Amino acid sequence: VIDQIRFVKTDLCVAENCVNVSKDQEIVLNLAARVTGIEYNRTHQAEMFEHNMLLQQLPLRAAHEVGVKRFIQVSTACIYPHDAIVPTPESEGTRGTPEPTNEGYGWSKRMGERLAEYYAQETDMEIGIVRPFNAYGPRDYYDVKTSHVIPALIKKVLDGDDPVVVWGSGNQTRVFVHAKDFAHGIKLLAEKYPYSDPVNVGHDDEISIKDLLAKILELTGLKRNVYYDTSMPEGYPRRAADTTKLKKVTGGFVPSISVEEGLA
């Protein structure tokens, strides 16, 4: 398979580029997104909304124009409201508004899901919708201001920050799905559930940010003081996936790589 992979570096905010990379493809998995961390998201809501709308709208249109048979729209857990039921079922994705610190990004992904539903209704394309919960893994983007929590904390620890500053109390919890598990999950959903009915992909094990940082320090063998800045937003108090539908439609798939294994 590796020998048959072709890498193309292009800007998918340009319609012509989307057409060019979609030609002669039977299936398109759209993972393109402008993704950053809580600090950047909350101060660049317009940019996050506009950029991510383009990255959903243009690939969908291009896929339809060139005759792609099956399309998977990758959404996000950030569409869920701040007071969502935890573990969170897919039905919560249309209630209320996205969490305020991720509002622009969250609304763009809600709109992307709705657009995918319309394309499924009005065209011959088979379209699936996937909602990942905090994917991480090799070749992530390591920048304190714009990356997600795992690479941001690793960057702070390895750069020698002392104290390591963490926004919020550190008691906020998340589930993290390793890139290998996510790839397996999206492959199964593309094969078995190409319907415009969103499906969560997340790990069943919930962990606090405080415990996550402790694991990073343990694995690196480094000692750092930690300062929890409770004057800063911490996002969702809890965020965990209800994976009932994922297990049902894939025949029992569950992400299996633990945070400890994934970080190591």
CA atoms within 13 A on the CB side of 101: 14
Residues in contact with 129: Cβ distance below 8 Å, sequence separation at least 6, in sequence order = 72, 73, 75, 113, 116, 117, 196, 197, 198, 199
Could you count the other beta carbons within 10 Å of the beta carbon of residue 176? Answer: 25
List all residues 6 or more positions away from 18 whose beta carbon is below 8 Å from its beta carbon: 12, 58, 59, 61, 62, 63
Q: Please give the structure tokens belonging to residue 57.
A: 């709208």
Q: Show the DSSP H helices in the chain as ranges.
A: 15-22, 38-43, 45-65, 103-122, 149-158, 179-192, 209-220, 244-250, 259-263
- Tell me which residues are annotated as active site: 105
